Chains A and B, each alone.
Chain A
Amino acid sequence: MATNEMTGAEIVLKALTDQGVDTVFGYPGGAVLPIYDEIFQQEKVEHILVRHEQGATHAAEGYARSTGKCGVVLVTSGPGATNAVTGLTDALLDSIPMVCITGQVPTHLIGSDAFQECDTVGITRPCTKHNYLVKDVNDLARILHEAFYVATHGRPGPVVVDIPKDVQFAKGRYVGPKNIEHKTYRPQVKADQAAIRAAVELIATAKRPVLYTGGGVINSGPTASKLLRDFVEMTNIPITSTLMGLGAYPASGKNWLGMLGMHGMYEANMVMHDCDVMICVGARFDDRITGRLNAFSPNSKKIHIDIDPSSINKTVRVDVPIVADVAHALEDMIRVWKSKSVVLDKKALDTWWKQIDGWRAKNCLKYKQNADVIMPQYAVERLYELTKDKNTYITTEVGQHQMWAAQFYRFEEPNRWMTSGGLGTMGYGLPAAVGVQQAHPDALVIDIAGDASVLMTMQEMSTAIQYELPIKIFILNNQHMGMVRQWQQLLHGNRLSHSYTEALPDFVKLAEAYGCVGIRATKPAELDDAIKEMIKTPHPVLFDCRVANLANCFPMIPSGKAHNEMILGEEVADEDVGSVIDAKGKMLV
């Protein structure tokens, strides 16, 4: 027998170790037992046992997003694999690197409707960047290394490796990760230099420029954020970001306009609408960003830096497309900028900034304070003030609380903000927090949650307890699916069809049932102390923050409207909210 012959299961562990994997989030079952047996007999890779496979995928996403490394998931065949589908799709839409190993029934049973058989590669084909069914143990090591390569190169994404049980038992040859890329997959990272020059020349002519940045900056790595900051510093161009890109440029930076889009800042959206040169960096003109397409930034020339050519000219036509990794492109742009000693029209830029100050003066996040009831915005503001000086990571669920978190929590660094942007997956935040905390044991990890969302993956509290991961689940409990209620108010005559969550659990008792700490705040006056108590608790906490039940999330670009048709909170009385979206807008999502 050749020296590096081992079983498939041994190969899996060896490949993971050689890839530098320290953590796997998983759940066992018949079709992965050989791999679990190997996990039992080693100490290099820590396995975190979740309570539902969806939890494993989101935990891996949180781990990946907060470290820049690849998240790893291990699940069994059939229901294990199908339960992972939501997280795979989430990772695909938000470009999160992930390798998900699924067990499969033995090769000779594939296609026979065997127990816990499902067509995993068929089911996950449209929700992964790539996937593999391993039929020969001698291909296993190469495929695993290739999977890591594919997941982390180019636009990152999830990769599934489906391993039949007999392949896990069979003996085969191991090859190391060295020199294993993919045979042909070579995403372009270095920009076409003519395009870089064209971009710099275009920016040089700008009188009303804006940088519109996104998750691609975060994915590109810390250098990209650094270069972005340098570029803003050099040029004094105002900068906004998508939900996914928060933290790449610091919220305290003087050029920061805040987030843009549907629930973005008034000034950010107005700048997008009125700009003459738009520099899109690692963002993809998502519909939450553009509003009505045919009224999107009508008078600007557009530059688009993206590593994925299919993101360019997909919905919005751009004038200067640049296919490249963000850090590479920014580095090139800064170099060319310096070598040409470009200076922007200072007078024009001053006028532009003056106009921006006018928009800022609208104070679009203003809300009515209440002495008796905690306003959800206030809760996030206080949470921010009391945690900003700590080593804090924030995850969220999906809904109004997510938008308030994005609006009121201020991020200074990349990789500190984990949220489900593209798929909008309720139930993301709690398991994501588990993954973040696992990667950063000493950090303060807070899931800003909604009462409805948090119930979708609540079972992962049990995981947090088992591994002593002191995550803080800060629930903005409005007793509603607030975001659904808001839309029903806007679009459906305020008929609140099934958006009121009756029979919510007592979250404090639930916390105790899980063996963690429950804290409740119901009055603004007690909020600060309660938050401080949460922070100093060295265990997982479920924080039931009772907030105003019917608060709405503003500002808002109603669907079907343009950036300059934003509605501000104070402009709409609750009874008029129903009339701000027209019939055509009601068709949109």
Chain B
Amino acid sequence: MNAHLQPSGSAYFLDTVKPDVETHALAVIVDNEPGVLARVIGLFSGRGYNIESLTVSETQHERHISRITIVTSGTPVVIEQIKNQLGRMVPVHSVADLTVQGNSITRELAMVKVAGQGEKRVEALRLADAFRARVIDAGTSSFIFEITGKSDKVEQFISLMVPLGLVEVARTGVAGITRGPEGMKD
């Protein structure tokens, strides 16, 4: 199970190893029961793991099953530990590492409010077009854009809006899924 982690020899100079921090997106299928999210978040805070993004929603209503997508970062050992810690929780059905599986898609949605007039307003619209952001609300002095994409694209769009009158941002956090015909074990 941990074959890819095995050091060739067997030296344990764990604390002298340069921490090669990686970012991974994990999909976690859980029973949608009270406290399940608190359990997952408590695991991360209690054991000092990072949460860069976390989304959760019920995905199968009849079976009360939810899907949590967590973007986290850590050394390979820590990432492996996080997956194992999640996997042994009683209401967790399965854990998939979307980053290791590689062949996966992650998306995030953001709503971006920009206020301004004149040239800045035109420039904001032009950029929105280039980023395929939709205008979902418009007034004489402001827009709300809806943008969907990978986190770095969303990030980039937001930073471009800063000088053009960025007022407020609401982001959903990342959701992810693997390509191909197979579904995740639940």
Contacts and interface: CB of A to CB of B under 8 A. Distances in A.
Nearest to A159: B90
Given A126-B46, A294-B16, A192 B1 contact: yes
B2 A321 contact: yes
A563 to B, nearest CB: 12
B16 A301 contact: no
A185 B42 contact: no
A184 B93 contact: yes
Interface string B1-22: 1100111001111111000000
B10 A126 contact: no
Interface residues of B, number: 30
B1 A323 contact: yes
Nearest to B80: A313
B77 interface: yes
Contacts of B11: 298
A301 B10 contact: yes
Interface string B29-61: 001001100110010001000000000000000
B81 interface: yes
Contacts of B14: 293-294, 315-317
A208 B185 CA distance: 43
Contacts of B6: 317, 319
A182 interface: yes
B43 to A, nearest CB: 8
A126 B38 CA distance: 10
Contacts of A297: 12
Interface residues on A, range: 35 or more
Contact of A293 (B7, B15, B34, B77): B15
B1 A309 contact: yes
Interface string A105-135: 0000000000000000110011001110100
A335 interface: no
A317 to B, nearest CB: 6
A183 B33 CA distance: 12
A299 B13 CA distance: 12
A192 B2 CA distance: 12
B12 A296 contact: yes
Interface of B: 1-2, 5-7, 10-16, 31, 34-35, 38-39, 42, 46, 77, 80-81, 84-85, 87-91, 93
Shortest 4 CB-CB contacts between residues of A and residues of B: A310-B84, A130-B90, A309-B84, A294-B13
Interface of A: 121-122, 125-126, 129-131, 133, 150, 154-155, 182-185, 187, 192, 293-294, 296-302, 308-310, 312-319, 321, 323
